[in-house]
Structure 1
Amino acid sequence: MSAVAWTAAASLAAWLWLLVGQGFFWRTDLRLPPRRDPGRWPSVAVVVPARDEAAVLPDSLPSLLAQEYPGRAEVFLVDDGSADGTGELARRLAERYGGLPLTVTSPGEPPAGWTGKLWAVRHGIGLARAREPEYLLLTDADIAHAADSLRELVAAAETGGYDLVSQMARLRVAGTWERLVVPAFVYFFAKLYPFRWIAREGGRTAAAAGGCVLLRAEAAGRARVPDAIRHAVIDDVALAKAVKRAGGHIWLGLAERVDSVRPYPRLADLWRMVARSAYSQLRHNPALLAGTVAGLVVVYLVPPAALAAGLATGHGAAALLGGLGWLVMTVTFVPMVRYYRQPLWLALTLPVSGLLYLLMTVDSAVRHHRGRGAAWKGRTYARPGAADAAPGTCPEAAPDSRA
């Protein structure tokens, strides 16, 4: 066989292994675990870090205030230095819609060693602990919850004895670029952190989705959260790992009625979202970057390239092996495409998505080596070891892993 055929064979072998050997990551049927109403509903504090979120807050905050929860619950929105009136808008929304009690506060700029979001979370948790809640719901300002979301999360945690229950919110998919990038983002996340492995007690796999994390307050204290992960740019996975290391039992699955309302209409918006932290997942290691790029090429780009080359040159083996690899790839992507309610033909575009993520990852490394680190909403988190961060920045230490 030709070199192209042998490479296509290697890619096909990789896909056959991924199909059955990676925790059936491609299945999308893992939703909230079996649950029943507890005899007593524990108290909950909802902590919402928010920085310049005035555009999305009217579509998200009212859904939190309207939670139909039988126990005691209140919301703490932490305005992390917003310049668009986020805090004042939150107060107006609470006056208009009523519902759960809302406290709006601001922690000031984060000190060195803290990311802005985790500094805000720390401030919110500190205020909440004065009320001695039994659970903390950590949710982002762009996440809209169904009216029974909190009730269902608490019931799942109480029934299953979980210390952390997280749902991956359904992200917005409307424009062309969102269709190409967003379903693939969740698909790649599930491949890195198979949901079925996460729930195994004693297992090493740990991850959460930062948009919706219900955390037992006692487990948060045992894991020293958020102080133990104060430098993490990829804070959701770092949080889950900290809880699991401290002996916690965690669960992660896909959401049905927890949705992100944040739009990403341009490729540049999605690019920034991924590139800001992709190199952190690789621990800022050039060797891991090279291996990742090679792996993405072999797994996602070789099958269609081998099919095209084989058809063009008459090499049947290359065309057959490339076509089979692309077929298996497409089959594994179909459930995620259906979950996002997209046309099935979109599953054929996974190689394009893989190429985009390859370029985003390389760009993330380039930004890091140029000293720009991870940048988000006006703050830059410099590369590890950077001395004397500039005003408004804080040094980033490599997080445990990445979504």
Structure 2
Amino acid sequence: MANLHMKSFWEKLLLPPFVYFFKLIYPFQLVSSPRSRVAAAAGGCALVRLDKLRSIGGFMSLKGAIIDDCSLARRIKESSGRIWIGLSNDARALRPYESLSSIWNMVARTAYTQLHYSYVLLIGCTVLMALSYLVPLIALFSDSSTTKFLGAIALTAMFGSYLPTVGYYRLPMYWVVTLPTAAMMFLAMTWTSAIRYVRGERSRWKNRSYPSTQTSTSD
């Protein structure tokens, strides 16, 4: 995974959590293990052996895929190929995300696809995100000292789990406290993705819109 552009406020607020959540969804150790079915790739920097690419049908096999990088990784792994994913300082992303809208649309492009266009998974994701990142914060304002204590423990664990990502991008430590805010924003982006799908738009990218009627198993 290429080292992301990290200059603007929105990049610092949202891109490290993007990587953090990506690693939660696709644990790198499982992705890289030939014994695991979990497959993922980061399209910003991907190297593929030509013979392996040809063996899966080339890029035409990814036609219609919205999350094409992960689809590529899955097809390679399903064909008994080996994949590896990790963070790298040797590859640097050049694309800046200077505005909130640019990051919002980048996430909304694939978020509902990631949930397989399922209302059940969308609701489940919403509940899980709220319980994990919103409830501990609300608990701090409870009248119960026990609830406050449990909320403080949950927040400490949350911030501690996020600290390595913040450190990797050489950001000041205080950025860890922004994780609940970023999490709720990512949840809103996911709902944006779902609403667009219901309205007939499967994906939107680079001024192109893909209708939701053209779903594909390659996603």
Q: CA 1:300 to 1:398, structure 2 compared with 1: closer, same or farther past 3 Å?
A: farther
- Map of 2:52 onto structure 1: 219
AA matched with 1:347: V
- Map of 2:20 onto structure 1: 187
- Between the aligned partners of 2:66 and 2:22, the Cα distance in structure 1 is 16
2:184 is matched with which residue: 339, 355, 358? 355
1:377 equivalent in alignment to 2:206: yes
Give the structure-2-normalised TM-score: 0.96
Contact 1:229–1:235 (Cα < 8 Å) also in 2: yes
- Map of 1:397 onto structure 2: 216
Deviations, residues 33-80 of structure 1 (Å, cap 9, x unaligned): xxxxxxxxxxxxxxxxxxxxxxxxxxxxxxxxxxxxxxxxxxxxxxxx
Map 1:268-307 → 2, pairs under 5 A? 268-307=101-140
Map 1:322-361 → 2, pairs under 5 A? 322-361=151-190
- Map of 1:109 onto structure 2: none
Map 1:44-63 → 2, pairs under 5 A? none
Contact 1:231–1:399 (Cα < 8 Å) also in 2: yes
1:202 Cα offset (Å)? 2.6
Contact 1:206–1:240 (Cα < 8 Å) also in 2: yes
Q: Which has the larger radius of gyration?
A: 1
Bigger CA drift: 258-267 or 318-327? 258-267
Map 1:83-232 → 2, pairs under 5 A? 168-232=1-65
Q: CA 1:398 to 1:185, structure 2 compared with 1: closer, same or farther past 3 Å?
A: farther
2:149 is matched with which residue: 311, 320, 333? 320
State the number of aligned residues: 219
1:249 equivalent in alignment to 2:82: yes
AA matched with 2:96: P
1:203 Cα offset (Å)? 1.2
Say what the alpha-carbon RMSD is for the aligned residues: 1.1
Runs (4+) of structure 1 moved beyond 2 Å?
none
3-state secondary structure, aligned to 2:201: coil
Contact 2:110–2:193 (Cα < 8 Å) also in 1: yes
Judging by fraction of residues, say which structure has more strand.
1
Structure with the larger RCO, 1 or 2 (CA within 8 Å, 6+ apart): 2
Deviations, residues 107-158 of structure 1 (Å, cap 9, x unaligned): xxxxxxxxxxxxxxxxxxxxxxxxxxxxxxxxxxxxxxxxxxxxxxxxxxxx
Give the structure-1-normalised TM-score: 0.53
AA matched with 2:150: L
Contact 2:166–2:176 (Cα < 8 Å) also in 1: yes
- Between the aligned partners of 1:398 and 1:304, the Cα distance in structure 2 is 39
